[in-house]
A and B are shown apart, each in its own frame.
Chain A
């Protein structure tokens, strides 16, 4: 399906979705609360069939955390970029998509470990790489005077 078709299909499911065209892939920003529902339908609908989560990234912005999902379809080979933002930077939380794409469980643990974003309904929110009690190094305000050299 081309970008216009995808836009139409997604705006039918989620009216609050904001589209950004013209970059590498079609970018869709959805409210965090609607994310799980949209993902579920994107995977189960035959026309879209987004069944392969390629990459899940957390990005730290001054006012929120943005979780970026690169999703591929092994049937139609179209790629979209889904984005959802947490509400503020205090106790950030967002729904897990691990029950839709199980590979997300590990990727979400990584985001949790390095950025401190909590994923609701995730069965296993242990830290992945770092010890308990360590800060969240990928946050922009993370300070570690011993190990990070200012340039």
Chain B
């Protein structure tokens, strides 16, 4: 494990033959405004220092003056690729605090949406990873297959990325009559298209040569640095919240937590592809069995949580997402903290980059699946 002190770039620690290179905040491979300062020895990276905060928007502060219905609208804007799952985390936390049992129908629909969101998120990640490594075609293939999912979302809840479909107590509206048919059509379509991803990139010699054995993160480091989601599971860290602390309809479905032991860039990539297959399996188990019933329980217009502290974990496409609410019994949270997976994952970057080439830094960052608003909040 690299010592934390090594990455300090204070002026008194930099020697004359050290070479610092600045990447970002406006850099295409950081997918947002992230700045990474790398300390080089020739072309080899010795350490990196991620500098965040370029799009810090003070969401946690804003939440303190908003009601619980309104807080949900801000969670969309953090990890915009897992917007639905973030919404759900707040809703589950509020529901648990009030001890409300939502109808079975809601649980099923939420889980189907979760998994569709996960597929859409991984598709966009796959596009961008290919692009970062110089494969332009992946971008078109990925976006082509993501479009039907966004259309399904749009038909049911009117939005393509910032859904606000979850409300405390259930869902804002019932599903569109076409929903089940369109989801089944999509699964049928995507089962044919996903093998193309493997043909294009996974089996590509240029790609595998660049990623295998690169940026290895050991299991111990993954746990110690809190690296979760597919990035952590590639190192063998069993951290799937859907398995460990099941919520919504996950207790009813059978699925496999995909794990690897290598912990390198290739396996972080490979596990996300595997997860898309698993997500489709989960959706198929649920889509024909959505129970009849209400789409929400009746809630008051102003929600007041009892005094106390509530924590809810969910598994977003990036990893272990947490909502921590400290309530003093009023209509606004006293303190609301979001534990975003990207934040912990980013600060583990320094464990993976020692000794890699500067060009490979881009590959490592791509497979961490960083979404910057999720880190800056």
Which of A's residues lie within 8 Å of B, judged by CB?
23-25, 27, 51-55, 57, 59-60, 68, 70, 74, 77, 81, 98, 101-103, 105-107, 110, 114, 123-124, 128-130, 137-138, 148, 151
Besides A55-B311, A103-B344, 7 other A-B contacts (C-beta < 8 A): A52-B223, A74-B223, A74-B237, A102-B225, A105-B4, A110-B343, A124-B7
Would you give 5 A-B contacts (Cβ < 8 Å), ordered by A?
A: A54-B322, A74-B237, A101-B224, A110-B343, A129-B376
Q: Are B337 and A74 in contact, CB atoms less than 8 angstroms apart?
A: no
Contact: A128 with B313, CB < 8 Å? no
Per-residue contact bits, chain B 206-243, to A (CB 8 Å; 1 contact, 0 not): 00000000000000000111100000000001110000
Q: Is B61 an interface residue (CB 8 A)?
A: yes
CA distance A129 to B4 in the complex (A): 19
| 8 A Cβ contacts from B14-72 to A | 52-53, 56, 58, 60-61, 65
- B258 to chain A minimum Cβ distance, whole angstroms, is 17
Chain B residues within an 8 Å CB radius of A101: 224, 226
Which residues does chain A contribute within 8 Å of B324, judged by CB atoms? 55, 57, 68, 70
Residue of A nearest to B343 (CB): A106
Contacts of B88 in A (CB 8 A): none
Closest to B337 in A: A57
B348 at the interface (CB under 8 A from A): yes
Q: In the complex the two chains form, is B310's CB within 8 Å of A103's CB? A: no
> Are the CB atoms of B223 and A129 closer together than 8 Å?
no
Residues of B within 8 Å of A103, CB to CB, are 224-226, 344, 347-348
Q: Counting CB contacts under 8 A, is B205 at the interface?
A: no
Bound Cα distance A24, B95 (Å)? 13
Distance between Cα atoms of A17 and B369 in the complex (Å)? 40
* Cα A116 to Cα B200 with chains together (Å): 50
Contact status A23-B53, CB under 8 Å = no
- B interface list, Cβ under 8 A from A: 1, 4-5, 7-8, 52-53, 56, 58, 60-61, 65, 96, 223-226, 237-239, 244, 308-311, 313, 320, 322, 324, 326, 334-335, 337, 339, 343-344, 346-348, 376
- Do residues B4 and A138 form an inter-chain contact, with CB atoms below 8 A? no
Inter-subunit contact A74/B239 (CB<8 Å):
yes
Which residues of chain B are near A59, meaning CB under 8 Å? Answer: 326, 334-335
In the assembled complex, the Cα of A27 lies from the Cα of B309 at a distance in Å of 10
Q: How many contacts A-B (CB < 8 Å)?
A: 90
Q: Which 4 pairs show the lowest CB-CB distances between chains A and B?
A: A129-B53, A103-B226, A106-B347, A129-B56
A105–B7 alpha-carbon span in the complex (Å): 12
In the bound complex, residues from chain A placing their C-beta under 8 Å from that of B237 are 74
Contact A137 B311 (CB under 8 A): no
By beta carbon, the residue of chain A nearest B324 is A57
> Which of chain A's residues has its CB closest to B49's CB?
A124
Minimum Cβ distance to chain A for residue B267 (Å): 19
Chain A residues within 8 Å of B7, by CB: 124
Complex-state Cα separation, A137 to B347, whole angstroms: 23
Q: Please determine whether B1 and A102 come into contact, CB atoms closer than 8 angstroms.
A: yes
Q: Which of B225, B244, B309 contacts A77 (CB 8 A)?
A: B244
A83 to B, closest residue via Cβ: B309
The distance in angstroms between the C-alpha atoms of A106 and B347, with both chains bound, is: 7
Residues of B within 8 Å of A151, CB to CB, are: 65
Checking A24, A27, A70, A106 against B322 with a beta-carbon cut-off of 8 angstroms, the contacting residue is: A70
**Are A124 and B61 in contact, CB atoms less than 8 angstroms apart?**
no
Q: Would A24 and B311 count as touching, CB distance under 8 A?
A: yes
Chain A positions within 8 Å of B8 at CB level: 123-124
User: In the complex the two chains form, what is the Cα distance from A101 to B226 in whole Å?
Assistant: 8
Q: Are B347 and A55 in contact (CB under 8 A)?
A: no
Name the CB-closest residue of B to A100. B224
Within the assembled complex, what's the spacing in Å between the Cα atoms of A77 and B58? 32
With both beta carbons as reference points, the residue of chain A lying nearest to B377 in the complex is identified as A129
Question: Chain B's nearest CB lies how many Å from the CB of A11?
Answer: 21
Assess whether B4 is in contact with A55, with CB atoms less than 8 Å apart: no
